[in-house]
């Protein structure tokens, strides 16, 4: 069975090929390794292979993992430290833990959540980097602001202290056809460009996963979130 390091290498090769095919500069897209449901030892394997940015969906599971790896992480130089990204739906009663332990939150979908993260971010930490999640496919099962709500919400989030709005995140409805995959990503990119034209200093498009990262990169993704292709099939034996 291929190792996590081998899987990482395969994913990074896919990303590099997609970046080249899109005519974009080498290194233009960051890989976020989605380690949800996998323990600290699996994360350590990915770290040993050079990965530093990890995505998590479940708050308590993530905090346990962050805590387990904290001592090792503290010994790293500033530029080599782990980066923890919260990418799952976030309830109001969990914002404090996220504000205290994470570096990024990709799943901000309403002003109340952003306000709580801003108020609860410890003063000794750098501003929390956040993305506004957009429900680009209009699915009732997905979180996210509508494209129509996004401009006003983005401006309100950008005005808050202790958080920095970096860009947009989206999880489009799954499609098998590459052309169909590209359409929602193109819509997210158009919204991103609109917000930048309106004066917001955005630099991040968090979109694309194991099955559609090539389509996302073709449409401008700057960060892709990949879990299964790195860590393998997940086992959801724990409560969300």
Residue 214's pLDDT is 98
Sign (positive or negative) of CA dihedral 219, 220, 224, 230: positive
Residue 240 lies in a domain: no
Residue 236's pLDDT is 60
CA 148 to the chain's CA centroid:
22
Residue 82 lies in a domain: yes
- Rounded to the nearest 10 degrees, how much is the dihedral formed by the CA atoms of 46, 29, 138, 95? 50
- Say if residue 31's pLDDT is above 70: yes
Q: What does pTM read for this prediction?
A: 0.95
Quote the domain boundaries for residue 162. 4-231
74-102 pLDDT, tens per residue? 999 999 999 999 999 999 999 999 999 99
Residue 184 lies in a domain: yes
- Please state, in angstroms and rounded to a whole number, the distance separating the CA atoms of residues 44 and 50: 10
- Please state, in angstroms and rounded to a whole number, the distance separating the CA atoms of residues 234 and 175: 21
Question: Could you give the angle at the alpha carbon of 214 between the alpha carbons of 212 and 219, nearest 5°?
Answer: 100
| Neighbouring C-beta atoms of residue 126, cutoff 10 Å | 10
36-46 pLDDT, tens per residue? 999 999 999 99
- Please state, in angstroms and rounded to a whole number, the distance separating the CA atoms of residues 85 and 102: 6
Average pLDDT of the residues in 33-38: 96
Total number of domains constituting the chain? 1
Residue 239's pLDDT is 44
106-150 pLDDT, tens per residue? 999 999 999 999 999 999 999 999 999 999 988 777 889 999 999
Residue 171 sits in a domain whose CATH number is 3.20.20.10
């Amino acid at each position: 069975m291929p190792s996590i390091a081998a899987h990482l290498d395969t994913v990074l090769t896919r990303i590099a090929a997609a970046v080249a095919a899109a005519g974009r500069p080498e290194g233009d897209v960051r890989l976020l390794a989605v380690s949800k449901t996998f323990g600290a030892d699996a994360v350590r394997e990915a770290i040993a292979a050079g990965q530093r940015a990890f995505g998590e969906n479940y708050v308590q599971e993530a905090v346990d993992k962050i805590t387990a790896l904290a001592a090792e992480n503290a010994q790293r130089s500033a530029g080599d430290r782990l980066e923890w990204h919260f990418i799952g739906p976030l309830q109001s009663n969990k914002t404090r833990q996220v504000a205290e332990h994470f570096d990024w939150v990709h799943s901000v979908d309403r002003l109340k959540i952003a306000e709580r993260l801003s108020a609860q971010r410890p003063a000794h930490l750098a501003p929390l980097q956040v993305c506004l999640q957009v429900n680009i496919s209009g699915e009732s099962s997905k979180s996210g602001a509508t494209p129509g709500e996004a401009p006003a919400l983005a401006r309100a989030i950008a005005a808050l202290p202790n958080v920095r709005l970096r860009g947009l995140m989206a999880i489009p409805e799954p499609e098998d056809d590459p052309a169909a995959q590209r359409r929602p990503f193109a819509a997210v990119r158009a919204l991103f460009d609109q917000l930048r034209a309106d004066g917001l200093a955005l630099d991040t498009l968090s979109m694309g996963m194991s099955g559609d990262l090539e389509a996302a990169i073709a449409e401008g993704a700057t960060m892709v979130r990949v879990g299964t292709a790195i860590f393998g099939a997940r086992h959801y034996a724990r409560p969300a």
